[in-house]
Chains A and B, each alone.
Chain A
Amino acid sequence: MPIITVDNLSKKFKSLTAVDGISFSVNEGEVFGFLGPNGAGKTTTISILCTLLSPTGGAAAIAGFDCAKSPDDVRRSIGLIFQDTTLDAGLTAYENLKFHAYLYNLDHTLTEKRIDEMLTVVELQGRKHDLIKNFSGGMKRRLEIARGLLHYPRVLFLDEPTLGLDPQTRNTIWDFINRLRKQEKITVFMTTHYMEEAENCDRIAIIDAGKIIAIDTPARLKEMVHGDVIHLVTADNPRAAGEIAERFSITAREENGGLVLEAEKGDEFIPRLLHALTVRTLSVSLKKPTLNDVFLKLTGRTIRDDVLVDDKETTREFVRSHRRAQR
């Protein structure tokens, strides 16, 4: 039974088409990931689902409520965690949660118990009456997750939930999300451009330039890459690529001063490969396919490339980090 349905949804900003006729559905209880480079349309889609933007075409519904027609019902059914923190730094953890409870008209008799319950899950009970300005980035994120779930939403939206956090904190955040998921029986919809993070999802939609280019489980997506990925650096890459094509009928792409090729049973293939090459090999490595390889295969680009290329995005990142520094 799908809890989110999106049908031919599109959003145009003047000349830019941010979301270009996408359709998908998310089942209840699923962790659904939106993976794609910055500027692919992830945040725009989330904003439409959260009723912050109205679509220019198509429709979206959450828990049976149309996002454009009954925004208040949709809002009551969802919890949100944005890219940037939306806590009030001048209030305590408790006060931030209490504010939320009032905005969502949570039952009076329930509020205190629920606040304590959520603070305990995210292990911030001891910091209940501390001001947010003394919290670390990871603690703020945890509190936001607690707040997002306070009003018993059916879907939790996470927009780049671990952006700007160190890997260790990122893992902790994921522990909490997984634990809460079991406890609260909730559907999670998240966007990310971290590959490792996307691996946590039950299903992933890969989005690029406003369109969904693939949608499946991480395992099945990775099967789209045939076999293992071999990374090879030789003294003469173009010549090596020619030889590989001739000998094994495999296309090798040039990337980062080396060659990338896919081969089944890569560990057995490497000795044959090295034997066949007449060029001197400088290094060779083998890895199992990742979602990044899937993205690369589908678009010809890696997800990280875009972060550097897209000026508008770099500006946004800059503004974001600048703001954080001011805080």
Chain B
Amino acid sequence: MIQWRPVYVICLREFKKFFREKSRLLGTLARPVLWLFVVGNGMGSLIKPQAGFSYLQFIFPGMIGMTILFSSIFSSISIVWDREFGFMKEMLVAPISRMSIVIGKAISGTLISVAQAVIILVLIPFLGIHITLLQFFEVVAVALLVSFCITSLGILIAVRLTSFDGFNIIMNFLVMPMLFLSGAMYPVTAMPPALRHLTLINPLTYGIDAFKHVLLRNGTPPLGPEFPIAVDLLVVAAISIVMLTLAALSFRRKE
């Protein structure tokens, strides 16, 4: 059902294009820096450090989550680009399964997001957080899972999107709310109940909480992790599988 040579070459193409677009890489790095040091420091002056963690440190896991969110959604939107510029046809008429195309897009989107999340870690020394090598690998592992989840969600959306016009709607009504309702900027437990319910159905909430477990070790709510790590990982994994299955099914039906 899945042919691995096509999957490999689809990934290779995405990597090549990613490294050729310097602006995309720059944008990825600039966004969290801006948030951390402008918003983080601004808000940080209002919020007292709690349980040994400052607000700036609190939002860092959220910034990793944000980087993954934007990168994964952007990667999967390449399906719309490919369709618009005709390249999708080249893949659709090849003797490969639709599943191979979806898997290729999912793997490449995931790995590109993980790479960007890892790059963000260079900011750690400026935040007063110390991590061990083990923690580093834990971050990578969580990043893989979260990236895969968001990329699958992005593919599901991209398959159903018929034109670029939908892209702005997705950005404003899905990506931004997902970021704001994720515990990235403010603790979930501190939110009004109506918003908290929305937060609880957002996979990114659990992904960011998992990053908090790894990076803000020994932290306690509100600024530390708020759910058990097992819950975080299970929820993200379950949503990933559902999203990818739905994406594959609707891709097969639509194209």
The answer, yes or no, to whether B87 is at the interface (CB within 8 Å) is yes
Inter-chain contacts of B87 with A (CB < 8 A): 86-88
Q: A82 and B20 in contact (CB under 8 A), knowing A95-B13, A103-B6, A105-B5?
A: no
The answer, yes or no, to whether B89 is at the interface (CB within 8 Å) is yes
Q: Which chain B residue has the least Cβ–Cβ distance from A157?
A: B93
Q: Which chain B residue has the least Cβ–Cβ distance from A131?
A: B20
The answer, yes or no, to whether B251 is at the interface (CB within 8 Å) is no
- Smallest Cβ distance from A319 to chain B, in angstroms? 11
Q: Which chain B residue has the least Cβ–Cβ distance from A98?
A: B9
- From A75, A90, A95, B95 is in contact (CB under 8 Å) with A75
The answer, yes or no, to whether A50 is at the interface (CB within 8 Å) is yes
Q: Which chain A residue has the least Cβ–Cβ distance from B3?
A: A105
Inter-chain contacts of A327 with B (CB < 8 A): 85
The answer, yes or no, to whether B253 is at the interface (CB within 8 Å) is no
Is the CB–CB distance between B16 and A103 below 8 Å?
no
Inter-chain contacts of A71 with B (CB < 8 A): 95
Inter-chain contacts of B46 with A (CB < 8 A): none
Inter-chain contacts of A185 with B (CB < 8 A): none
Interface residue ranges of A69-99 to B (CB < 8 Å): 71-73, 75-76, 80, 82, 84-91, 95, 98-99
Is the CB–CB distance between B3 and A100 below 8 Å?
no
Is the CB–CB distance between A80 and B86 below 8 Å?
no
Inter-chain contacts of A323 with B (CB < 8 A): 84-85
- Smallest Cβ distance from B223 to chain A, in angstroms? 43
The answer, yes or no, to whether B30 is at the interface (CB within 8 Å) is no
Q: A51 and B93 in contact (CB under 8 A), knowing A90-B20, A105-B3?
A: yes
Inter-chain contacts of A213 with B (CB < 8 A): none
- From B6, B9, B86, B95, A84 is in contact (CB under 8 Å) with B86
A88-B92 Cα distance, complex, nearest whole Å: 14
How many positions in chain B have a CB within 8 Å of any CB in the partner chain? 22
Inter-chain contacts of A82 with B (CB < 8 A): 86, 89
Chain B residues touching A, majority SS: helix
Inter-chain contacts of A90 with B (CB < 8 A): 16-17, 20-21
Inter-chain contacts of A84 with B (CB < 8 A): 86
Is the CB–CB distance between B90 and A75 below 8 Å?
no
* Binary contact track A52-79/B, C-beta < 8 Å → 1, others 0: 1000000000000000000111011000
Interface residue ranges of B100-145 to A (CB < 8 Å): none
* Binary contact track A196-207/B, C-beta < 8 Å → 1, others 0: 000000000000
* Binary contact track B1-40/A, C-beta < 8 Å → 1, others 0: 0010110110001001100110000000000000000000
- Smallest Cβ distance from B253 to chain A, in angstroms? 13
Inter-chain contacts of B90 with A (CB < 8 A): 86-88, 99-100, 103
Is the CB–CB distance between B93 and A50 below 8 Å?
yes
Is the CB–CB distance between A86 and B89 below 8 Å?
yes
The answer, yes or no, to whether B175 is at the interface (CB within 8 Å) is no
Inter-chain contacts of A99 with B (CB < 8 A): 9, 13, 90
The answer, yes or no, to whether B237 is at the interface (CB within 8 Å) is no
The answer, yes or no, to whether B169 is at the interface (CB within 8 Å) is no
Q: Which chain A residue has the least Cβ–Cβ distance from B88?
A: A86
Q: Which chain A residue has the least Cβ–Cβ distance from B17?
A: A90
The answer, yes or no, to whether B229 is at the interface (CB within 8 Å) is no
- From A52, A76, A86, A102, B9 is in contact (CB under 8 Å) with A102
A104-B17 Cα distance, complex, nearest whole Å: 21
Q: Which chain B residue has the least Cβ–Cβ distance from A47?
A: B93
- From B8, B21, B86, B92, A102 is in contact (CB under 8 Å) with B8
A71-B96 Cα distance, complex, nearest whole Å: 10
A270-B123 Cα distance, complex, nearest whole Å: 89
Q: Which chain A residue has the least Cβ–Cβ distance from B100?
A: A103
A interface residue numbers (CB < 8 A to B)? 50-52, 71-73, 75-76, 80, 82, 84-91, 95, 98-100, 102-105, 323, 327
The list of the 9 closest CB pairs from A to B, nearest first, reads: A102-B9, A103-B94, A86-B86, A75-B95, A72-B95, A86-B90, A86-B89, A76-B95, A84-B86
